[in-house]
Structure 1
Amino acid sequence: MTVRVLAMAALALAVASTAAHAADPRYPDWPCTQAKVPDISLAAVWAGPPLDDVQNKWKDDAKISALVAKLSARKTPLDEAEKSVKEFLAASATDKTANAKLLFAGLFDTLNAQRSQVMSGLERVSRKQREAADKIREDTLALQALQGATPRDEAKVEALSNELIWKTRIFEDRHKVVRFVCEVPTTIDQRLFALGRVIQQEME
């Protein structure tokens, strides 16, 4: 069993080493292969009229605030969100431009905040993974020393083997989750761009 344990630990350490090597030196805790872009640029997702005059005013409109919450939720399919935008603006009549600006300002603020929260979470997990990798490395060396000791304490070898298996599995599970969550900021970018495009089209 100890050979398998050491193989698992070696795999975990290889994953940790690869992740560390791939990290952008400007963002040492960023664990994703995707480049870290701290904030979405308004100019990259909005070519409509300036939003300076609306800013946080969208929060004062209960209907728009509720719609922003629905459209920003990842559980809301994008096609459904786009349909809701069209229906809302079609019913806006003379206030269409004002409502469109308020709606996008709300989406921009909310999705940017979501994105920042996800990215901060990823970096927290990355720091935990680095600490876990250091501990796995220490335990692997300790296990090798116990295996080579004379006389060999089988109870200690067994206990440390089991501990190393547990730590390695946690490390690998976190790694899989990180890989999945690394896609989320890009998904948020795409949602904001798509909804911004629909809003602008409906304003024309």
Structure 2
Amino acid sequence: MMVRTFAMTALAFVVAGSAARAADPRYPNWPCAQAKVPDISLAAVWAGPPLDDAENKWKDDSKVSALVSKLAARKTPLDEAEKSVKEFLAASADKTTNAKLLFAGLFDTLNAQRAQVMSGLERVSRKQRDAADRIREETIELQALQDATPRDDAKVDTMSNQLIWDTRIFEDRRKVVRFVCEVPTTIDQRLFALGRVIQQEME
């Protein structure tokens, strides 16, 4: 009786967990409650002068590219990143050029990070869909084994353990996805904050 109850609970859980997916039909594999915005718009985060060729040249400046790597890393606290921006631009002979190079590098790098995270989320979402289908099939198979006459208790135990394991993996992934769904927004906020500091330092 307890195994049957677990099977029904597992099935209900998976169905409930799958129902919230794909709120936007344009992105059927997008698993987050947050709307999917594929790219950060430059106009949304930069009100400074046109970046011109800075978008292609920032990688050629070793100091700029090294600083971009540090600023883009989420392990670097935002206040520390903002301080580094101010110190770098204060010491620049051509503040405007270096400011544009720095922002162009951040825009490129953080957009790439964001795209990578979003691609990973959709990949996990596809795995979750497959896992949900598998759990449904295992639940039906387990119920059939429980109702069989004569009943094979060894097979019931094996299938029950498999169902418990697959449901646990499904739930663990669901928790990870919920956490990672916050990352694109965090990247957006970081780019906006650093872009604002760069623009302020140019004035």
TM over 0.5: yes
Q: CA deviation at 1:73?
A: 0.2
Show the 5 A alignment for 1:2-81.
2=3, 3-20=5-22, 23-81=23-81
TM-score, length basis structure 1 = 0.96
Show the 5 A alignment for 1:154-173.
154-173=153-172
Q: CA deviation at 1:121?
A: 0.3
Q: Which moved more, 1:141-150 or 1:113-122?
A: 141-150
For 1:18 and 1:71, locate their aligned partners in 2 and report how far apart those are by CA, in whole Å: 35
Q: Which moved more, 1:4-13 or 1:55-64?
A: 4-13
Give the 3-state SS of the residue equivalent to 1:74 in structure 2: coil
Q: Would you say 1:189 and 2:191 are equivalent positions?
A: no
The answer (yes or no) to whether the contact 2:138–2:163 under 8 Å persists in 1 is yes
The answer (yes or no) to whether the contact 1:9–1:164 under 8 Å persists in 2 is no
Q: Would you say 1:113 and 2:115 are equivalent positions?
A: no
AA in 2 matched with 1:65 = S
AA in 1 matched with 2:141 = A
The answer (yes or no) to whether the contact 2:7–2:142 under 8 Å persists in 1 is no
State the partner residue of 1:123: 122
Q: Which moved more, 1:170-179 or 1:141-150?
A: 141-150
The answer (yes or no) to whether the contact 1:146–1:157 under 8 Å persists in 2 is yes
The answer (yes or no) to whether the contact 1:115–1:188 under 8 Å persists in 2 is yes
Give the 3-state SS of the residue equivalent to 1:19 in structure 2: coil
Q: Would you say 1:142 and 2:141 are equivalent positions?
A: yes
Unaligned runs of 5+ in 2: none
AA in 2 matched with 1:16 = S
For 2:96 and 2:83, locate their aligned partners in 1 and report how far apart those are by CA, in whole Å: 17
CA distances 1:79-135 after superposition (whole Å, capped 9, x unpaired) = 00000000000111x310000000000000000000000000000000000000000
Show the 5 A alignment for 1:73-112.
73-92=73-92, 94-112=93-111
AA in 2 matched with 1:138 = E
The answer (yes or no) to whether the contact 2:21–2:29 under 8 Å persists in 1 is no
For 1:56 and 1:77, locate their aligned partners in 2 and report how far apart those are by CA, in whole Å: 27
Q: Identity percentage over the alignment?
A: 80
Q: Number of residues paired by the alignment? A: 201
Q: CA deviation at 1:52?
A: 1.8
Structure 1 runs of 4+ off > 6 angstroms? none
CA distances 1:46-70 after superposition (whole Å, capped 9, x unpaired) = 0000012211211001110000000
Q: CA deviation at 1:4?
A: 2.5
The answer (yes or no) to whether the contact 2:15–2:132 under 8 Å persists in 1 is yes
Q: Which moved more, 1:96-105 or 1:5-14?
A: 5-14
The answer (yes or no) to whether the contact 2:21–2:30 under 8 Å persists in 1 is no
For 1:24 and 1:130, locate their aligned partners in 2 and report how far apart those are by CA, in whole Å: 16
AA in 2 matched with 1:108 = F
The answer (yes or no) to whether the contact 2:110–2:187 under 8 Å persists in 1 is yes
AA in 1 matched with 2:184 = P
For 2:134 and 2:37, locate their aligned partners in 1 and report how far apart those are by CA, in whole Å: 31
For 2:142 and 2:52, locate their aligned partners in 1 and report how far apart those are by CA, in whole Å: 62
For 2:49 and 2:143, locate their aligned partners in 1 and report how far apart those are by CA, in whole Å: 66
Q: CA deviation at 1:5?
A: 4.1
Unaligned runs of 5+ in 1: none
